[in-house]
Amino acid sequence: MITVNLIPKRVQLAQVQRRHIKGWTLINLVAGVSLAVPVCIDRVQQAKAQELQSQRTLLTQELAAMRKQLAVVEKQAENAFLQLHRADALRSKRAWSGMLALIGSAMPPQCWLTRVATDPNAPRQGPSRPAPGVKHAPAGKASPQVMIEAPRKLKLIGRAIDASDPLAFVTNLKETGVFHRVSLEGASRERSGPESHFRFEIVCEW
């Protein structure tokens, strides 16, 4: 059987071209979608990476701030620790309330003190500190030794009505047996208005 295509050649070519165009369009569309998916995934991943980087930067800043706060707290704790041990060391050195009571009991009735001071007045090498190479003791172990410069002398400055009172005061202090040496460093007569007194300075060493 013989078939005859009555469609003009020009129309047939146009149909073929349209089919080719549709095919290429479909191919380009599929290729475009195939390229767009990785690009979209890459953009999403970049956005997530930027967000994570921002979070990391924020966490790094917070960590640095917390480390500074921790350093301040550790310094405060160390100072409190040293002050506590210095106080314990001073308390173990001299019972100052008992010392003052002893001095008061040895002082003649017509004497009075205007100043009581230790020598040295304060540690000359700064605040108390742990012994070299010693750190805070772990839990359950003995506390580190605290090195302080303890006073070795006690200066008593006062007034007396009679010139013999300072000498009697020195004698009474020696008789207590508490001090290694008691000396009268100075005594002078001072006039204040119509009355006069004897100013004295006594040094007690242990």
Query: Do 200 and 101 reside in the same domain of the chain?
Result: yes
Dihedral angle of Cα 16, 19, 24, 27, to the nearest 10 degrees: -150
By the 8 A CB rule, do 181 and 205 touch? yes
Domain endpoint, select from 74, 93, 112: 93
> Is 0.75 topped by the overall pTM?
no
Q: In whole angstroms, what is the distance from residue 40 CA to residue 38 CA?
A: 5
- pLDDT tens across 138-187, in order? 545 554 555 555 678 899 999 999 989 999 999 999 999 988 999 999 88
Buried residues in 21-51 as b, exposed as e (16+ CB within 10 A): eeeeeeeeeeeeeeeeeeeeeeeeeeeeeee
Please measure the distance between the N-terminal and C-terminal CA atoms of the chain and give it in whole angstroms: 143
Region at 103 (left for phi over 0; alpha for psi -120 to 50; beta for the rest): alpha
Domain endpoint, select from 93, 125, 140: 93
In a domain, 170, yes or no: yes
Total structural domains within the chain: 2
By the 8 A CB rule, do 186 and 200 touch? yes
Region at 193 (left for phi over 0; alpha for psi -120 to 50; beta for the rest): left
Domain endpoint, select from 30, 63, 93: 93
Domain that holds residue 150: 95-205
- pLDDT tens across 58-106, in order? 999 999 999 999 999 999 998 888 888 776 665 655 667 888 899 999 9
In a domain, 1, yes or no: no
By the 8 A CB rule, do 79 and 136 touch? no
Query: Do 57 and 118 reside in the same domain of the chain?
Result: no
Query: Do 115 and 192 reside in the same domain of the chain?
Result: yes
Would you give the DSSP letter of residue 177? S
The pLDDT of residue 138 is 52
